[in-house]
Amino acid sequence: KRKGHSAIGYEDKEGEHMVVFGGRKNSRVYYNDVWQLSLSKNGAWKWKELSPNNASKNIFSPSPRNHHSGIYYQGEMIVYGGRSDHSLYKTHEEIWGFDLTELTWRRIDNVNKMVRPHPRMEHCSDAYLEDMIMFGGQGDNGLRKNDVWKFSLRTNQWKQLQENNCNQFSDEATATFVGMFVLFLGITLCLYRSYVNSHSRHGYSPI
């Protein structure tokens, strides 16, 4: 049993899969393992742990954490943010990619880049074209946020999207459509108009 984990879905020649990373059992036990639930072509469900192949080679992997986000992009599970200590609001800012074929972790974001969002948890992220779109969450000391950022999975660079007109939330859910980013904020639906072309207008509007 766990909570605060992330999960993604994808399909390959073997069938349909859900991949789960991290989460916590209680306030003291956090996880950084990867599990896959697969639906085979014959309709059977099966859990399997995806143990990283580079774990024995002293290559860094994400620390145990919960309340991070996860998306699927070109054969990888992309993990961002989260928290590893229930007693402290100490949140993460790094981005990791887990190759679902090679079963290896890699650090994606450039740690030397100055432009980046503040560390956070309980945010939401979704994939759109070659970008990860991230909204809101909760930072260190419990400060809630309502900013929107995009991370280019092609150039590995962050860029802030300037419109910040929603109330501050954490624990959001999202859905992405062409040119739109829909946020489910507990009792409010808010539409963030994304960047279809250079003339698109960024901004929120209630639904």
- What does the pLDDT look like over 41-79, one tens digit per residue? 777 889 999 999 865 555 678 999 999 999 999 999 999
Identify the DSSP state of 117.
Answer: P
pLDDT in tens, 159-182: 998 555 555 544 544 444 444 455
pTM for the full predicted model:
0.79
pLDDT for residue 107 is more than 50 = yes
Residue that is written with structure tokens 């991070």 in the block: 68
Pick from 1, 53, 61, 49: nearest CA to 25: 1
Main-chain phi, psi angles of 197, to 5 degrees: -150, -175
Tokens of 106: 């890699």
162/105: higher pLDDT: 105
Tokens of 20: 């789960």
